[in-house]
Amino acid sequence: MSALDHTHSLLRRGDWSGPADFVTLRYDERFLRRKVLTTAGGREFLVDLAHTESLDHGDAFDLGGGHLVEVIAAEEPLLQVTGTDLARIAWHIGNRHTPCQIESGRLLIQRDHVIADMLRRIGASVAEVSEPFTPEGGAYGHGRTHGHDHSHSHGPAEGTAHGHSHSHGHDH
């Protein structure tokens, strides 16, 4: 039995070129720090990154010796959301910290019957589709739009001298 290849190196889309094997991963599988993956060509390797990373379609792992493994976004069950007031619909999706892929004329979100019902009630058209999911990375550069904590203070300039914090969802 041969030793398992290890990688500590993630190359972002546009920062690498050349031939590569690939791994196809769903959105939730593209958030990792340490995991054994198997390429389409059957090669197993251990991803061992310094920090948990959000992988994007087109990123690649460098296995050394010129061996690259590209990350491909897998097709997965999604909801295609359309409507005449797409900005308002997008606001409601974002207000629920739901990952969202924004395209011209449509939004894509993970299937969720509760969110689908809410969207229909505000006038959206919702259809089930199966496509790769590559949602927006979030305003704070973390790559994900859920499970974050933040705090801030209001000083004299804001008219109130108090601080507060709150959290959403869960921690990673």
- Residue 3: pLDDT band (50, 70, 90) is confident
What DSSP letter does each residue of the chain carry, written as one string?
-PPPEEE--EE-TTS--S--EEEEE-GGGGEEEEEEEE-TTS-EEEEEEEEEEE--TT-EEEEETTEEEEEEEPEEEEEEEE-TTHHHHHHHHHHTT---EEETTEEEEE--HHHHHHHHHTT-EEEEEEEE------TTSSS-SSS-EEEEEE-GGGT--EEEEEE-S---
Would you say residue 163 has pLDDT above 60? no
pLDDT digits (tens, 9 = 90+) for 51-107: 999 999 999 999 999 999 999 999 999 999 999 999 999 999 999 999 999 999 999
pLDDT of residue 158: 42
For domain 5-73, the CATH architecture is: Sandwich (2.60)
Q: What residues does each domain of the chain span?
A: 5-73, 76-132
- What dotted CATH number matches 76-132? 3.30.70.790
pLDDT of residue 138: 62
| Average of per-residue pLDDT across 46-51 | 96
For residue 61, give the nearest of 30, 22, 35 by alpha carbon: 22
Would you say residue 147 has pLDDT above 50? no
Q: Which residues pair with 159 in a beta bridge?
A: none
pLDDT digits (tens, 9 = 90+) for 96-144: 999 999 999 999 999 999 999 999 999 999 999 999 999 987 655 445 5
